[in-house]
């Protein structure tokens, strides 16, 4: 288990560079080319969701392209032959009309996917040739996610229904009645009233099973599997088919869900449930013994072992996901690799059932690890970079990886020791031709409590030795998150490097991938320990990298990073020429009442505001407005229910009332993130224009 280093080791590590990363293939060298822009970023093709056929021959993946004029992404499916040397990926013609979420049938003869080409989101299928598309489901409600059973006879789909309705027609009739009514008032008697970016409409996500005929097309009526269940599967707001799955014999379905009741906004108690696929019995709670979060069950190939991920502390969404193993033969459960201090984000079994492959953050990287379920030995499989998705196929790993200098590509690698990765795709080579990327380097220093803290510095594109550059000091959100070695599509370091800025990013105490104690240390300490890390990290970076111009620097952050920008404005404004706050907390007390996922504010501040007012006031930016004096750009999404609109307006009001140079950029149709391509470019143009205004010589 890798824990935070003790003070005796810190002095030796402080300030030591960990690694320098090579520039991406297909991009220009650091000294010849134009800088990377926000328009470049939003127009890049994005690879995700690799799926390998059961025989290991083909890999299919989703490719998102941008339709600039329509201001949206367009998804298609691409296939590559893993057995043919030098084979090039090909677009599947069945993608015409849009296609996403590819999933192979167990026999490998069919490839199921989702598409809205019929006017609503339904399941379709094709074969490995990808020439034709056949509609599989024709339901009156959009399909949110799906899975086909191992025996090929059943498909389970997720649908948003009114939980008291016995039929899908009841849901569609009620929806039509509400749409036709001239009265617009909505009466609520419990929360969630709204969640992420959507107001509650009375529906819940429930699972239904459908029989598949000999051709793999759904037939007959949908069978409800969650009648009477007060909760959502797939989970809201980001759930998908990872929230449910079949038993090896295709007779049972497991799913992860939280009982809603009246305490849903305060609860992280997601349990694993089992239900017969024919709907003959009510769901059974499999993990009632754990009052915290359980998710992601995967069955071993022989069906004798079930692995899943489990947190141990109720009410804490950033707790470590431990790996639990249920033995169906002995009816016993144990934790796998209990001493490994990393949080499991995804689990996959090896073909022989002896190894679990696990995705986890690790000191600024996101790697695949191999965990021996017998000995608990943990071995890293992938190297530096950010793995966003992977599949295990026989003795090979197929995965998607990106890093700070290049967007994601598809790779394959033998799982045997010493196996070398082979890149299977080269998307965006044309778009990045002649583009110079800034060179990143990871560094470390002694932060709060003398413990090692890591960060990245990214040189400007076309860096010239001996020249000093203005600095964009980026502060990540979460706060339990990381600005690690990844190609971000919102806070991308290369968009600043391409505009002539050096970039500094610190993974302060509270960040993920450095052990659970490191992550835990920020709770109830939003304004002291992380601030100390940022201060010491800034000092360490200035000492180590002479090209950083400390007199021309701006601090930027979103979400918790936006909170920290507001906190810096009143507690550490000295180094900064300007500030940028995106969807950041202004008043902790009102945040505790107005945000939707209340377990978060309650955990981070030691109770609700009326229970522990001191916890909310201790690090409350609103109490330090009198000390504000630096120019600030405030950005806010109108559909952001995580950190609501009034937080951004309050920040801007405070700035204007003090006659501090300030601007307010408002996106009425964006949530906590800016996702629409043209809005993203406007965001970057505005932010970089603000930085330019205040960092000119």
CATH of the domain at 600: 3.40.50.1820
pLDDT score of 6 more than 70: no
Residue-level pLDDT at 18: 33
End residue of a domain, out of 248, 266, 287: 287
For residue 627, being part of any structural domain is answered with yes
- Indicate if 533 and 659 belong to the same structural domain: yes
What tens digit of pLDDT does each residue of 205-224 get? 999 999 999 999 999 999 99
Other beta carbons within 10 angstroms of residue 31's beta carbon come to: 11
Average pLDDT score, the chain = 94
pLDDT score of 323 more than 90: yes
**516: enclosing H helix or E strand:** helix 516-520
In 225-337, DSSP assigns E strands to: 244-246, 252-258, 270-276, 284-285, 294-299, 305-310, 322-327, 332-336
For residue 587, being part of any structural domain is answered with yes
Cis peptide before 237 (omega within 30 of 0): yes
End residue of a domain, out of 252, 268, 287: 287
What tens digit of pLDDT does each residue of 392-417 get? 999 999 999 999 999 999 999 999 88
- Indicate if 21 and 145 belong to the same structural domain: no
Coil, helix or strand for 207?
strand
Residue-level pLDDT at 697: 66
> Is the Cβ–Cβ distance between 236 and 247 less than 8 Å?
no
- Indicate if 145 and 21 belong to the same structural domain: no
For residue 339, being part of any structural domain is answered with no
For residue 279, being part of any structural domain is answered with yes
Residue-level pLDDT at 13: 28
For residue 123, being part of any structural domain is answered with no
Concatenate the DSSP letters of all residues of 340-407 into one string. --S---EEEE-TTSSEEEEEEEETTEEEEEEEETTT--EEE-S-SSEEEEEEEETTEEEEEEEETTEE
What tens digit of pLDDT does each residue of 354-368 get? 999 999 999 999 999
pTM of structure = 0.94
Helix, strand counts (H, E) of the chain: 13, 41
Q: What is the 3-state secondary structure (H, E, C) of 50-90?
A: EEECCCCCEEEEEEEEEECCCCEEEEEEEEEECCCCCCCCE
pLDDT score of 440 more than 50: yes
Other beta carbons within 10 angstroms of residue 395's beta carbon come to: 13
Q: What is the domain count for the chain?
A: 2
For residue 563, being part of any structural domain is answered with yes
Residue-level pLDDT at 419: 86
Per-residue pLDDT band for 539 (boundaries 50, 70, 90) equals: very high
- Indicate if 22 and 146 belong to the same structural domain: no
Residue-level pLDDT at 417: 82
Percent of the chain with pLDDT over 70: 95
End residue of a domain, out of 287, 313, 330: 287
Q: Which domain holds residue 198?
A: 138-175+192-287
pLDDT score of 610 more than 60: yes
Rounded distance, CA 597 to CA 583, Å?
A: 16
Give the neighbor-by-neighbor strand order of the sheet with 270-276. Answer: 244-246, 252-258, 270-276, 284-285
Name the β-bridge partners of 390: 399
For residue 254, being part of any structural domain is answered with yes
Residue 19 dihedral angles phi and psi, to the nearest 5° = -160, 155
Residue-level pLDDT at 10: 28
- Indicate if 20 and 145 belong to the same structural domain: no
Kindly state the average pLDDT of the residues 589-605.
98
For residue 297, being part of any structural domain is answered with no
Q: What is the DSSP letter of 300?
A: -
- Indicate if 557 and 680 belong to the same structural domain: yes
Residue-level pLDDT at 265: 98
What tens digit of pLDDT does each residue of 218-257 get? 999 999 999 999 999 999 999 999 999 999 999 999 999 9
């Amino acid at each position: 288990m890798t824990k935070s280093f003790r003070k005796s080791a810190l002095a030796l590590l402080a300030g030591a560079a960990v690694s320098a990363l090579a520039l991406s293939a297909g991009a220009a060298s650091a000294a010849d080319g134009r800088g990377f822009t926000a328009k470049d970023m939003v127009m890049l093709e994005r690879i995700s969701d690799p799926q390998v056929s059961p025989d290991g021959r083909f890999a299919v993946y989703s490719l998102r392209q941008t339709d600039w004029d329509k201001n949206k992404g367009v998804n298609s499916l691409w296939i590559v032959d893993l057995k043919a040397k030098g084979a090039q990926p090909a677009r599947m013609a069945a993608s015409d009309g849009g296609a996403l979420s590819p999933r192979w049938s167990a026999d490998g003869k069919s490839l199921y996917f989702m598409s809205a080409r019929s006017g609503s989101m339904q399941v379709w299928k094709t074969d490995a040739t990808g020439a034709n598309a056949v509609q599989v489901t024709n339901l009156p409600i959009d399909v949110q996610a799906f899975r086909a059973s191992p025996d090929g006879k059943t498909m389970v789909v997720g649908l948003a229904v009114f939980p008291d309705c016995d039929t899908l027609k009841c849901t569609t009739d009620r929806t039509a009645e509400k749409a036709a009514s001239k009265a617009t008032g909505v009466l609520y008697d419990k929360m969630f009233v709204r969640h992420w970016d959507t107001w509650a409409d009375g529906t819940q996500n429930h699972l239904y099973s459908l029989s598949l005929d000999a051709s793999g097309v759904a037939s007959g009526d949908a069978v409800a599997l969650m009648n009477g269940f007060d909760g959502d599967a797939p989970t809201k707001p980001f759930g998908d088919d990872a929230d449910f799955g079949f038993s090896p014999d295709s007779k049972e379905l497991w799913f992860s869900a939280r009982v809603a009741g009246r305490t849903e906004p305060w609860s992280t108690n997601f349990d694993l449930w089992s239900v017969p696929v024919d709907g003959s019995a009510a769901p059974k709670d499999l993990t009632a013994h754990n009052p915290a979060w359980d998710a992601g069950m995967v069955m071993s190939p022989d069906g004798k072992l079930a692995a899943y991920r489990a947190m141990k502390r109720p009410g804490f969404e950033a707790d470590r996901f431990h790996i639990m193993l249920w033995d169906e033969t002995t009816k016993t459960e144990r934790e796998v690799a209990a001493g490994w201090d990393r949080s499991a984000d995804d689990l996959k079994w090896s073909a022989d059932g002896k190894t679990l492959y696990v995705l986890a953050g690790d000191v600024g990287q996101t790697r695949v690890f191999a965990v021996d379920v017998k000995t608990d030995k943990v071995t890293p499989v992938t190297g530096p970079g950010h793995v966003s998705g992977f599949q295990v196929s026989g003795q090979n790993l197929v995965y998607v990886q990106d890093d700070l200098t290049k967007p994601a590509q598809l790779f394959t690698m033998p799982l045997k020791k010493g196996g070398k990765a082979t890149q299977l795709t080269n998307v965006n080579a044309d778009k990045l031709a002649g583009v110079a990327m800034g060179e990143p380097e990871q560094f470390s220093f002694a932060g709060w409590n003398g413990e090692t803290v890591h960060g990245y510095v990214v040189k400007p594109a076309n860096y010239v030795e001996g020249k000093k550059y203005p600095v964009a000091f980026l502060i990540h959100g979460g706060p339990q998150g990381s600005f690690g070695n990844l190609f971000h599509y919102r806070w991308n370091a290369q968009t600043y490097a391409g505009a002539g800025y050096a970039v500094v990013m610190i993974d302060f105490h509270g960040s993920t991938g450095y052990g659970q104690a490191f992550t835990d240390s920020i709770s109830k300490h939003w304004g002291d320990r992380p601030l100390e890390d940022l201060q010491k990290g800034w000092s360490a970076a200035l000492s180590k990298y002479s090209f950083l111009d400390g007199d021309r620097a701006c601090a930027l952050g979103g979400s918790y990073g936006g909170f920290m920008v507001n906190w810096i404005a009143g507690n550490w404004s000295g180094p900064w020429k300007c500030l940028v706050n995106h969807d950041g907390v202004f008043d902790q007390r009102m945040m505790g009442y107005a945000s939707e996922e209340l377990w978060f504010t309650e955990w981070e501040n030691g109770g609700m505001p009326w229970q522990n007012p001191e916890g909310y006031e201790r690090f409350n930016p609103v109490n330090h407005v009198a000390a504000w004096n630096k120019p600030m750009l405030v950005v806010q999404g109108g559909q952001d229910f995580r950190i609501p609109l009034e937080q951004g307006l309050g920040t801007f009001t405070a700035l204007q009332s003090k006659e501090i140079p300030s601007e307010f950029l408002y996106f009425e149709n964006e949530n906590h993130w800016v996702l629409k391509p043209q809005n993203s470019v406007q965001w970057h143009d505005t932010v970089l224009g603000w930085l330019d205004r205040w960092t000119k010589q």
